């Protein structure tokens, strides 16, 4: 997938809610003890939803990007507060941006990279100057379901612009791959999703991520060792490590962007937030690969190159590491109150 003009990242912003639920709390309530695969997960407060977190991440991205006008706002999420009524217009209003193409995108955990791909096309064709792609979720697992250990909340936003000395990274390449695979779903009007347990592994996550990354390598003549960093979608701490290994990446390439153990799976924000963690420390010239995964199923993979602008731009960054380390632990009861479990 090539663009007419080169497209880069003008700004990025991440939002993580303050609260963390240790998975030992979930295990205490539902399993009689132990812990989940991740240590903690980020939990949105009682007055937060994907609209509020999208706005917070977007404001941070816009602060860094320093662009006055946006041409598009896409919010990728599977936890919309309204089934019908866009989140993207709430973000547009909060940013004071009205002459924009605004839409919500849904593709399980890859809705945000999909938004990045579309905005890349709009900017790359010259149709718009700047576009905002946001990945945000307040992921919900049925109480007691294994999924509940990992389902987290967070947001990551990217302002994409035509490449210039002001863009901090250039999107060098991008591919998308999809099949009809029913590994995880939520029917209209259902509160919690369902999944097919181990089926979410090989036929779903691994097949799609491996295929998209191999396609990226093949189409653009790239290999794992060309990248300083790689970021994968992280539904749990194990899958991204395993898929990186299969694709020839080394542990140090994926370490920075692997956030699941501390915050869980933030769904649409998961791999975009990993990318932000990488951009918080990358050097000019570094190449970064990001591959998302969305159930249903598909994967987008991109190759980026960090530019000289990174040093100046990220002075404005609210660093992912700081957002992760600044937190307040809560117990299961508070989590249940915040997220409306068992109340109705």
Partner 1 sequence: MSISYWRLKDRYYRLIGVSCEDCKSEFFPPVHVCRRCGSRKLVDRDMPRTGKIVTYTELRETLAGFEDQEPMLLCIVQLENGVKVLGQIVDTTVENLSIGDKVKAVFRKIQEHGSSGQIFYGYKFVKA
Using the contact rule CB under 8 A, the part of the chain among 41-49, 64-72, 152-160, 232-240 near partner 1 is 41-49
Query: How far, in Å, CA of 76 to CA of 78, rounded?
Result: 7
- Each residue 123-162 as x (binds partner 1 by CB under 8 A) or -, in order, gives ----------------------------------------
Instruction: Mark 251-290 with x for binding to partner 1 (rule: CB under 8 A) and - for no binding.
Output: ----------------------------------------
Question: Which of 115, 70, 130, 112 lies closest to 94, judged by CA?
Answer: 70
From 48, 56, 109, 207, active-site residue: 109
C-alpha 198/C-alpha 183 separation (Å) is 9
- Among 46, 127, 251, 333, the residue binding partner 1 under the rule CB under 8 A is 46
Alpha-carbon 53 to chain mean position: 13
Give yes or no for residue 185 binding partner 1 (CB under 8 A): no
Q: Is 98 a catalytic residue?
A: no
* Residue 21 makes contact with partner 1 by CB under 8 A: no
H helix intervals, the chain = 23-30, 50-65, 88-95, 111-124, 207-220, 238-246, 251-255, 260-263, 270-279, 309-313, 320-325, 332-338
Q: Using the rule CB under 8 A, is 5 a contact of partner 1?
A: no
Q: Does 93 bind partner 1 (CB under 8 A)?
A: yes
The question of whether 233 is a catalytic residue gets the answer: yes
Of the candidates 26, 41, 135, the one whose C-alpha atom is nearest the C-alpha of residue 79 is: 135
Least CB distance from residue 30 to partner 1, whole Å?
24
Give the three-state DSSP class for 173: strand
Q: Are residues 232 and 254 in contact, defined by beta-carbon separation less than 8 angstroms?
A: yes
Is residue 31 a contact point for partner 1 (CB under 8 A)?
A: no
> Of all helices (H) and strands (E), which one includes residue 304?
strand 296-306
Tell me how far apart the terminal alpha carbons of the chain are, to the nearest angstrom. Answer: 46
Active site residue 166: no
The residue annotated as part of the active site, out of 78, 114, 148, 172, is: 78
What amino acid positions are annotated as catalytic residues?
A: 78, 109, 233
Binding stretches for partner 1 (CB under 8 A): 18, 45-49, 51-52, 55-56, 59, 81-82, 90, 93-94, 96, 328, 337, 344
């Amino acid at each position: 997938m090539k663009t007419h003009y080169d497209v880069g990242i003008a700004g990025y912003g991440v939002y993580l809610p303050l609260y963390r639920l240790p998975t030992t709390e979930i295990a205490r309530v539902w399993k009689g003890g132990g812990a989940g695969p991740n240590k903690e997960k980020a939990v949105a407060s009682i007055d937060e939803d994907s609209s509020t977190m999208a706005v917070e991440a977007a404001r941070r991205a816009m602060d860094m990007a320093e662009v006055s006008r946006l041409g598009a706002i896409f919010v990728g999420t599977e936890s919309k507060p309204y089934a019908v009524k866009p989140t993207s217009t709430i973000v547009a209003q909060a940013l004071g941006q009205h002459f924009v193409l605004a839409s919500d995108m849904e593709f399980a955990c890859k809705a945000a990279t999909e938004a990045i791909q579309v905005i890349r096309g709009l900017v790359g064709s010259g149709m718009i100057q700047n576009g905002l792609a946001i990945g945000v979720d307040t992921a919900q697992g049925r109480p007691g379901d294994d999924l509940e250990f990992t389902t987290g909340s967070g947001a990551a936003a990217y302002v994409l612009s035509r490449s210039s000395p002001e863009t901090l990274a250039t999107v060098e390449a991008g591919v998308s791959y999809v099949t009809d695979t029913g590994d995880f779903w939520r029917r209209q009007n259902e509160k919690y999703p369902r999944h097919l347990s181990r089926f979410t592994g090989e036929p779903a996550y691994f097949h799609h991520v491996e295929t998209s990354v191999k396609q990226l390598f093949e189409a653009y003549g790239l290999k794992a060792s060309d990248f300083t960093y790689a970021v994968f979608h992280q539904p749990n701490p194990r899958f991204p490590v395993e898929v990186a290994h299969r694709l020839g990446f080394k542990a140090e390439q994926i370490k920075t962007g692997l956030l699941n153990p501390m915050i869980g799976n933030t769904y649409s924000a998961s791999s975009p937030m990993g990318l932000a963690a990488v951009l918080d420390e990358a050097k000019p010239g570094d190449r970064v690969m990001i591959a998302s995964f969305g159930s249903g199923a598909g994967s987008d993979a991109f190759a980026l190159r960090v530019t000289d602008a990174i040093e100046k731009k990220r002075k404005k960054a609210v660093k992912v590491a700081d957002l992760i380390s600044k937190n307040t632990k809560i117990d299961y009861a508070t989590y249940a109150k915040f997220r409306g479990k068992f109340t109705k």
